[in-house]
Amino acid sequence: MARELTNQTAVVTGGSRGIGYRVAEALLAEGAAVCICGRDAERVQKAAASLARNGAGPVDGVVADVRRYEDCRRLIHTAAERFGGLDILVNNAGIGIMKRIDELTAEEWDATIATNLSGAFYCSREAIPWMRKRGGGYIFNISSLAAINAFAGGAAYNASKFGLNGMTEAMMQDVRYDNIRVSTIMPGSVATDFASIFGGTARDPWKLTGEDVAKAVLDLLKYPPRALASRIELRPAQPPRRK
Ligand SMILES: NC(=O)c1ccc[n+]([C@@H]2O[C@H](COP(=O)([O-])OP(=O)(O)OC[C@H]3O[C@@H](n4cnc5c(N)ncnc54)[C@H](OP(=O)(O)O)[C@@H]3O)[C@@H](O)[C@H]2O)c1
């Protein structure tokens, strides 16, 4: 198969496991150079080594905490300088702390908003000038169906993802004439470590996989440049029936 992303550079935040790892893997298989990040140095290093063994393009791993603006700046600049530019940004890093509003601490609230919302703003803010230099690019924000469906115990997570959808839609309109496309991908339950937050497991067979989300990213990248699928709701086809 022809590799369609040769000479393109991508940054995937939270690419050390879960959905981000699968997105990085899929981009690499299409020939892109990919830089992943995460907070845990050992995990980042192991993931980058494993991606490098199997991928077609070059890989880098940067230890960066997307809650910090300086880390996001360093991440984007490291990737763009090492690989000669930046074309694709996947804002994927995310956490979920599910607690009733009156049990949620201020620190837990701040961490959720900082990771899931501010991190995507910081990385996009730094990535856009690099994409303009290339004549365009693509930003994916991995949101959630929790961005349109609030639930008990979801105050911080729902707020972060509702906010992410709003920011993404405004950003899409800000940068469309710079030839930068922006899409929100809103998955339902995906079989990753994240699943335990909802009392499930990463092995539930009805769940989406990281590969399913990665396929959405690749499919959108291959759309004709005149077309923009700005919001994707990606659901498990057959979740357990509600009793
Ligand atoms: N799994 C689901 O059911 C599901 C459904 C809808 C949407 N999503 C969204 O999909 C995204 C990925 O979720 P996932 O299921 O793949 O989760 P995951 O398996 O827990 O992986 C999360 C990734 O993000 C990184 N990360 C977390 N906080 C970070 C920070 N402050 N700075 C940098 N990296 C950070 C983690 O690495 P470190 O811990 O080492 O930092 C890890 O690589 C999230 O935005 C999540 O909200 C997930």
Atom nearest to 96 CA in ligand 1: 47
**pLDDT for residue 116 is more than 90:** yes
Residue 239 domain-assigned (yes or no): no
CA-to-CA distance for 85 and 71, rounded, in angstroms?
18
CA of 14 to the centre of ligand 1 (A): 6
Residue 243 domain-assigned (yes or no): no
The residue ranges of DSSP E strands in 40-179, in sequence order, are: 59-63, 88-91, 137-142
DSSP-derived letter for residue 85 is S
CA-to-CA distance for 92 and 27, rounded, in angstroms?
14
How does strand 180-187 pair with strand 137-142? parallel
Q: How many separate domains does the chain show? A: 1
CA of 19 to the centre of ligand 1 (A): 7
How does strand 231-234 pair with strand 180-187? parallel
Model pLDDT, residue 2:
56
Which candidate in 69, 157, 177, 223 is catalytic? 157
Model pLDDT, residue 214:
98
Residue 205 domain-assigned (yes or no): yes
Residue 162 domain-assigned (yes or no): yes
Model pLDDT, residue 203:
78
**Amino acid letter at 159?**
A
Residue 3 domain-assigned (yes or no): no
Give the residue from 83, 75, 72, 66 showing the smallest Cα distance to 31: 83
Residue 4 domain-assigned (yes or no): no
Give the residue from 185, 178, 217 showing the smallest Cα distance to 32: 217
138 catalytically annotated: no
Residue 2 domain-assigned (yes or no): no
**pLDDT for residue 160 is more than 70:** yes
CATH code for the domain of 26: 3.40.50.720
**Model confidence over 204-224: pLDDT tens digits?**
899 999 999 999 999 999 999
How does strand 88-91 pair with strand 59-63? unpaired
Model pLDDT, residue 54:
84
Residue 192 domain-assigned (yes or no): yes
Take residue 109 and report the two structure tokens written for it: 């609230």
Take residue 193 and report the two structure tokens written for it: 């470590």
Q: Which of 75, 141, 185, 192 most suits a substitution to test ligand 1, by most atoms within 8 Å of the C-beta?
A: 192
Take residue 49 and report the two structure tokens written for it: 């080594």
Model pLDDT, residue 194:
86
Backbone torsions φ then ψ of 148, nearest 5 degrees: -130, -5
Q: Give the domain range for residue 31.
A: 9-234
